[in-house]
Amino acid sequence: MSVVITEPNDHEQHDHEHEHHDHKPAGIKRWLYTTNHKDIGTMYLVFALIMFFIGGAMAMVIRLELFQPGMQFVEPHFFNQMTTVHGLIMVFGAVMPAFTGLANWMIPMMIGAPDMALPRMNNWSFWILPFAFLILLLSLFMPGGGPSFGWTFYAPLSTTYSGDSTALFVFSVHIMGISSIMGAINVIVTIWNMRAPGMTWMKMPLFVWTWFITAFLLIMVMPVLAGVVTMVLTDKYFGTSFFDAAGGGDPVLFQHIFWFFGHPEVYIMILPAFGIVSAIIPTFARKRLFGYASMVYATASIAILSFLVWAHHMFTTGMPVFATLFFMYATMLIAVPTGVKVFNWVATMWRGAMTFEVPMMFALAFIVLFTIGGFSGLMLAITPADFQYHDTYFVVAHFHYVLVTGAIFSIVAAVYYWLPKWTGNMYDETLGQWHFWCSLISVNMLFFPMHFVGLAGMPRRIPDYALQFADFNAFISIGGFLFGLSQLIFVWVLIKCARGGVKATDQVWEGAEGLEWEVPSPAPYHTFETPPVIK
Amino acid sequence: MAKTRSIRWSLPTLLLAASANAAAMPLNMTKGVTEISQEVYSLHMLIFWICCVIGAVVFGIMFVSILLHRKSRGVQPAQFHESTKIEILWTAIPVVILIGMAIPASKTLIAMDDTSAADVTVQITGSQWKWHYKYLGSDLEYFSVLATPREQISNKFDKGENYLLEVDRPLVIPTGQKIRLLMTSDDVIHSWWVPAFAIKKDANPGFINEAWTRVDEPGIYRGQCAELCGKDHAYMPVVVVAKSPEDYAAWKLAEETRIAEAKAAEQELLAMNMDMSELMDNGERTYIAYCAACHQPNGAGLPGIFPALAGSDLILNDKTAHIDIVLNGKSGTAMQAFGRQLSLKELASVLTYTRNAWGNDTGDAIQAADVYKVQQGEGE
């Protein structure tokens, strides 16, 4: 896609003037009252980083207990709270808000809009989020502890057999859902209405496209999640029997509703990552993205197929064999558009002129490691084999490859890629390379051996295990601790870059194309108050 | 896991082959001991190798590109960015591969679904955190609970070879016969998994799932509950012993005799009084085995989830209600009906123990006859 900008002559000066009159209150009020997409984007990203470390600390507790067989550090009941809250925080607190933060910062700048379409709602959708997680985290200190039924909260473990904190869990998930829905509405309205003149649909950067499709997934499935948590609430406290056979309900119904939300949710966490990688690879290969149109169509196909595969999470629940066959075929089909994406990225690299700065390194690692996660996903689709893989560490390995080395690596790549635009300073390349290589090695020590542990028969979500798994678990735990430590380098890089460094140019990267690289670095508080014209 | 050892090294590993300590763990899925489990293994290996080949091609091209097409080599970037022909090609090839994969997978799946014409049917009921096996068409039924001592879990004793994979009474099946397994649950969802049979099936409360197997090799096969089912999910293993039809028949006869004799002995017990120290000793043993997982060894429970027994109102003030809740459980909670699981002697002992331990000094000795009365609905 080629974007040519003809800016109004007074644009530069106009922006400059505005820096002195942006009318933002000082101190905490600036952040509480802000309706500025850049401020809100920053808050989302900082919040996601804090949640990433809190969820990560829980993962460290899990790996510490699993370092050796036997119970050493925590009780099984607390262990279950850690696995549950780790999952909830990483999905709803780290990955999703990080993508929303990137959307806030970048979508208006990429389509030539002055801000998000609904700025006050934008403020609200962020500011309810800290309270949602405060409620969730404080529930851990209740008598009986926090939620301990897994982030998937299968009934009746989460209804009849759960502790008193369940009401808080439900309330907190509701707030997270409301926040996500508002964020998604904002993205759709912004993209639909606020594109600069000449920014036609098929000229939009892929990050905008993938977020646009993700936002539709969000507004379609978050209400389903709200529905299912409400059913859990009424089953537990108000005497309904949606999931209780004794009252005419069915516990498997819970899983159908949950995964009807849960599978599209998986793509909510990966489609924006596809957009990020599709921005980074062409920049550092100095070559246009291969097959732009097919990338858009592949994203849309993945989104549509994601509504037809939910029951592949439920092959062992005893579905009729023909339903099982349908879900197996539909799941295998998703490999096709996903494959197209990977092939297009490799074709983009082919005969380019590549350099390997940190964003490129994370993007390349994303392609390889996400594809490994995709391969194990394809294996899991083969239903008879799934009976052996299901609920073992093979599955844990699979979804951490797509979520950690997939979604989170893409977020880290995006942060390195756009950080000079946000702060006006280049990050420390040497430290960034250290962060990359430490993360790459430790993350594979952490998750790759899990495939073998799972194939050998270790179930997931257990605090204690048979002796044969001991050596592997010790090794995995060491990988986990190293991966946790490696992320401290990231914080160091971020703080260092925010405080100063080599001044970034407007274009930042030699091969970068797009509207966000036309504005000064750091991006002024208000950009594109007069829309650019794209030819 | 002796069955799985022979295939330990069949999966090539790059990262882990160096780990000398890995000897005890197989690195690949078990081939198992049934026709179905071997088909499952073949499907697993087929899709694994397909992924390896695709991975080698894609990553190979990518790494060649990374080596050759770098700016530092002074290359100029090419201008191409589209080719409908190649896009169609790399959409069509995966479709063909997937169809090739779907055919054998569907065949195996349909074969797994056929539970008709079984020789033996066993009903498997999961509950927190034990399995119950009932041989349909016979009086034979029993619970199967973890046999690993708590001291091994808390690292006071050395761990045994089958740590967490051993039970007091395994499921016993005859070899060479089709066994139909009916799964259900008394409380939350559990999942009965034996890797060597390639069976993993959820036990859903209020519903019955079916699976089947035919095992040809006599042996001991171990597995675990696979679905998170609460606090002690890690502590409900599955052990299946496959015996020749003759040994199986002898075992079954012996078990049926044992159950009949135990019933007769219970009747005799009704007329006897056990002394306090015997009741307390037996009671403590039973308490540790069946009650301590939730109510804790010191009777303090876990606040907010499992009520304390020490100083409990119900225990101190209402003896009949105490006996009743132990016998019949409390619906809607994790408290199970132990009347089905324990003998009268064990029930009397554990009731006496909980009425007199940890400062619950009621001084009551509960006898088998007292329990029997409540069981028959003639409470005091």
Smallest Cβ–Cβ distance between A379 and the set B28, B51, B94 belongs to B51
Nearest 5 degrees, angle CA B182-CA A254-CA A95?
A: 125
- Residue corresponding to tokens 């039970």: B167
pTM for this predicted structure: 0.90
A467/B201 CB distance under 8 A? no
With CA atoms as reference, the chain B residue closest to A338 would be B91
Q: Which residues of A touch B308 (CB under 8 A)?
A: none
Task: Give the pLDDT band of residue B259 (cuts 50, 70, 90).
Answer: confident
Domains delineated in chain B: 27-69+81-113 (1.10.287), 120-259 (2.60.40.420), 270-375 (1.10.760.10)
Share of chain A above pLDDT 90, in %: 92
pLDDT tens digits, one per residue of A454-491: 999 999 999 999 999 999 999 999 999 999 999 999 99
Q: What is the DSSP string of B282-330?
A: HHHHHIIIIIHHHH-TTS--BTTTB---TT-HHHHH-HHHHHHHHHH--
Q: Is residue A16 annotated as part of the catalytic site, yes or no?
A: no
Smallest Cβ–Cβ distance between B78 and the set A351, A356, A453 belongs to A351
Task: Give the pLDDT band of residue B265 (cuts 50, 70, 90).
Answer: confident
C-alpha to C-alpha distances, B299 to B293, B296, B349, B367, nearest whole angstrom: 10, 5, 16, 21
Closest Cα in chain B, distance from residue A476 (Å): 11
For the segment B287-291, the average pLDDT, to the nearest whole number, is 86
Among A189, A259, A255, which residue's Cα sits nearest to residue A219?
A: A189
Phi, psi of B202 (to 5 degrees): -70, 140
Closest Cα in chain B, distance from residue A469 (Å): 6
C-alpha to C-alpha distances, B279 to B151, B315, B353, nearest whole angstrom: 23, 17, 7
- Specify which residues B135 forms β-bridges with: B122
Which range has highest mean pLDDT (A351-355, B157-161, B311-315, B364-368)? A351-355
For the segment A376-402, the average pLDDT, to the nearest whole number, is 96
Task: Give the pLDDT band of residue A21 (cuts 50, 70, 90).
Answer: low
A324/B159 CB distance under 8 A? no
Smallest Cβ–Cβ distance between A457 and the set B110, B195, B332 belongs to B195
How many domains in chain A?
A: 1
Distance CA B237, CA A219 (A): 42
Distance CA B297, CA B301 (A): 8
For the segment B48-69, the average pLDDT, to the nearest whole number, is 96
Residue A76 has pLDDT above 90, yes or no: yes
Q: What is the CATH number of the domain that holds A182?
A: 1.20.210.10
Of A65-74, A377-386, B49-58, B251-260, the least confident: B251-260
For the segment B193-208, the average pLDDT, to the nearest whole number, is 96
Of A522-531, B145-154, B285-294, the least confident: B285-294
Task: Give the pLDDT band of residue B11 (cuts 50, 70, 90).
Answer: very low
Share of chain A above pLDDT 70, in %: 96
pLDDT given for residue B9 in this prediction: 41
pLDDT tens digits, one per residue of B181-199: 999 999 999 999 999 999 9
Phi, psi of A143 (to 5 degrees): -60, 130
Task: Give the pLDDT band of residue B18 (cuts 50, 70, 90).
Answer: very low
CB B164 within 8 A of CB B148: yes
3-state secondary structure of B147: coil
Tokens coding A324: 């099982």
Closest Cα in chain B, distance from residue A193 (Å): 29
A457/B30 CB distance under 8 A? yes
Distance CA A282, CA A360 (A): 10
For the segment B348-355, the average pLDDT, to the nearest whole number, is 91
The DSSP letter of residue B74 is T
- Residue corresponding to tokens 């999942």: B191
Q: Which residues of B touch A140 (CB under 8 A)?
A: none
Distance CA A433, CA B104 (A): 46
A206-237 helix and A166-193 helix, angle to the nearest 10 degrees: 150
With CA atoms as reference, the chain A residue closest to B152 would be A70
A465/B195 CB distance under 8 A? no
3-state secondary structure of A5: strand
pLDDT given for residue A154 in this prediction: 96
Strands B141-144 and B130-135: what pairing?
antiparallel
Task: Give the pLDDT band of residue A17 (cuts 50, 70, 90).
Answer: very low
Q: Is residue A338 annotated as part of the catalytic site, yes or no?
A: yes
Of A51-60, A399-408, B69-78, the least confident: B69-78
Task: Give the pLDDT band of residue A270 (cuts 50, 70, 90).
Answer: very high
Q: Which residues of A touch B67 (CB under 8 A)?
A: none
**Residue to substitute from B228, B330, B335, interface A, most A β-carbons within 10 A:** B228
Q: Is residue A421 annotated as part of the catalytic site, yes or no?
A: no
Q: Which residues of B touch A161 (CB under 8 A)?
A: 128, 187-188, 230, 333-334
Q: Is residue A265 annotated as part of the catalytic site, yes or no?
A: yes
Q: Is residue A180 annotated as part of the catalytic site, yes or no?
A: yes
Closest Cα in chain A, distance from residue B104 (Å): 10
Strands B179-185 and B120-127: what pairing?
parallel
pLDDT tens digits, one per residue of A113-145: 999 999 999 999 999 999 999 999 999 999 889
- The rounded mean pLDDT for chain A is 94
Smallest Cβ–Cβ distance between A388 and the set B11, B29, B48 belongs to B29
pLDDT given for residue A22 in this prediction: 65
Distance CA B55, CA B66 (A): 16
Q: Is residue A115 annotated as part of the catalytic site, yes or no?
A: yes
Q: Is residue A37 annotated as part of the catalytic site, yes or no?
A: no
Residue B17 has pLDDT above 60, yes or no: no
Distance CA A12, CA A4 (A): 17
Phi, psi of B178 (to 5 degrees): -80, 120
Closest Cα in chain B, distance from residue A187 (Å): 29
pLDDT given for residue A514 in this prediction: 93
With CA atoms as reference, the chain B residue closest to A164 would be B304
Fill in the amino acid letter for B53: V
For the segment A361-388, the average pLDDT, to the nearest whole number, is 96
Q: Which residues of B touch A398 (CB under 8 A)?
A: none
Q: Which residues of B touch A77 (CB under 8 A)?
A: 231, 302, 305
Distance CA A501, CA A6 (A): 31
B24/A468 CB distance under 8 A? yes
Distance CA A425, CA A423 (A): 5
| Domain limits for position A267 | 5-534
Among A44, A109, A203, A100, which residue's Cα sits nearest to residue A520?
A: A109
Rg, Å, chain A Cα set: 23
Residue A316 has pLDDT above 90, yes or no: yes
Tokens coding A84: 């549950």
Q: What is the ipTM of this complex?
A: 0.91
- The rounded mean pLDDT for chain B is 88
3-state secondary structure of B123: strand
Catalytic residue among A15, A39, A235, A265: A265
pLDDT given for residue A16 in this prediction: 47
A2: phi > 0 → left, psi -120 to 50 → alpha, else beta; which? beta
pLDDT given for residue B380 in this prediction: 45
Q: Is residue A23 annotated as part of the catalytic site, yes or no?
A: no
The DSSP letter of residue B117 is S
For the segment B70-95, the average pLDDT, to the nearest whole number, is 91
- Locate all alpha helices (DSSP H) within A382-514, ordered by sequence: 383-389, 393-402, 409-423, 429-455, 470-499
Q: Is residue A510 annotated as part of the catalytic site, yes or no?
A: no
Among A519, A514, A517, which residue's Cα sits nearest to residue A534?
A: A514
Residues 6+ apart with CB under 8 A from A475: A445, A449, B19
Residue B81 has pLDDT above 80, yes or no: yes
